[in-house]
A = this chain, B = another copy of it.
Amino acid sequence: MSVPIELNILRQQIDEIDSQLVELLARRAKITAEVGKYKSQVGLPIYVPEREAELIAKRRAEAEQQNVSPILIEDLLRRIIRESYHTQNVEYLCTNSQIKKIVVVGGAGALGRIFVDMFKRSGYSVQLLEQHDWPHADSILSDAGLVLVAVPIKLSESVICKLTCLPLDCVLVDITSTKQKPLAAMMAVHAGPVLGLHPMFGPDVPSLVKQIVVVCHGRHAEQYEWLLQQIRIWGGVLQQTTAKEHDDAMVFIQVMRHFCSFVFGSHLASENPNLQQLISLSSPIYRLELAMVGRLFAQDPALYADIIFDNEDSVALLTEFSVKFNQALALVENNNKGEFIKQFYKIGSWFGDYSKQCLISSRKLLLKADDDRSLSEDR
């Protein structure tokens, strides 16, 4: 079908504006690269929430004056800012230049590698300690100022127990996704400063900006404050808690969701509906829910087995979930809509304002998912 000339003229004007947008982005990137360079020289943090908020507020006001949606300009700026966070920094200020050496045990692993990279880009001397290095562990560890344990959950405690001869002023840190046992093991094996961390992100993050790192203090916090400051400079957001509180929360956050996704996938595979049809008939919210289940099975089963099976509270909590499931099922069997609605309101009041927030945020997110429909189409 040929395009009418009137439409073509308008489209050319749009194309010209979009080309100017590309130029604008190129100019902006050059300036933010300079900002990044300057910040790394003087040791200022990459992510400054106040500056970000102020920048956006000013542009929103301008947009309103010019009849442009303030939500649109905010969305665009946040996307542009994200890009600049992830590209502007190749180097970071070093918060502890006196430390001789950092040893990352398991530093060749997916998550360990990120920390090795970040330490190196901050000017630290970093050495890896992998499985085959254990015969020489004593010499590798003898002058370490920081030892970071980044091995799979199931190996974490046994590896920690081997770290018997660290220098007394060496900081011992782990990044295991459970915290009580590894932290206790570190406290037992090492008399110096001890810290438990749980980075709440996967190995595929483009940078640490805005990523959550859970902090469980062990001993002599003043001797590893520089490390926490270093993570802040990388852009990380620290959340402090106790090891017990952390582990209790993780049963809900990790075990329950992964297990339910597993069962959902298992149920779908055994009922065997036409997947392509399910996807094509799904609205964005269902496509997203299906994607949350589907994505699990593209990942490492051993990791999820460890997370689910190695938590002592899993069985009790999952059993309780099963009880709740059957109670709700009985309501459907007995056609007791009234009780279902009553419970619905009760649960809603437990969630409080959060459920309304969820609705608003997920709506925003679904609109973004709509933009390219990659959740629904083969590409």
Contacts and interface: CB of A to CB of B under 8 A. Distances in A.
Contacts of A263: 321, 324-325, 328
Given A83-B69, A314-B332, A365-B365, A277 B249 contact: yes
Given A51-B11, A318-B329, A294 B351 contact: yes
A53 to B, nearest CB: 10
Nearest to A254: B286
B267 A324 contact: yes
Given A301-B340, A321-B263, A373-B210, A291 B362 contact: yes
Contacts of A344: 262, 297, 301, 304-305
Interface stretch (A72-80, A93-101, A164-172, A218-226): A72-80
Interface in A201-227: 201-202, 204, 206, 210-212, 214
A188 interface: no
A113 to B, nearest CB: 18
A315 interface: yes
Contacts of A75: 79, 371
A131 interface: no
A77 B275 contact: no
A281 B341 contact: no
- Greatest chain B CB density within 10 A among A256, A293, A332 is at A332
State the main secondary structure of chain A at its contact with B: helix
A361 B375 contact: yes
Interface stretch (A16-24, A114-122, A135-143, A155-163): A16-24
Contacts of A268: 252, 347, 350
- Greatest chain B CB density within 10 A among A66, A68, A268 is at A68
Interface in A325-379: 325-329, 332-333, 335, 337, 340-341, 343-348, 350-365, 367-375, 378-379
25 contacts: A11-B51, A21-B21, A22-B62, A22-B63, A72-B83, A200-B282, A201-B284, A249-B277, A249-B281, A262-B340, A263-B321, A263-B328, A269-B346, A269-B350, A272-B350, A291-B361, A291-B362, A295-B355, A298-B351, A299-B359, A315-B332, A315-B333, A318-B329, A353-B378, A357-B375
Given A17-B24, A22-B66, A266-B347, 16 more contacts: A21-B59, A22-B62, A25-B68, A79-B79, A200-B281, A214-B281, A262-B328, A267-B324, A290-B358, A295-B358, A298-B348, A301-B345, A304-B344, A357-B374, A360-B374, A362-B375
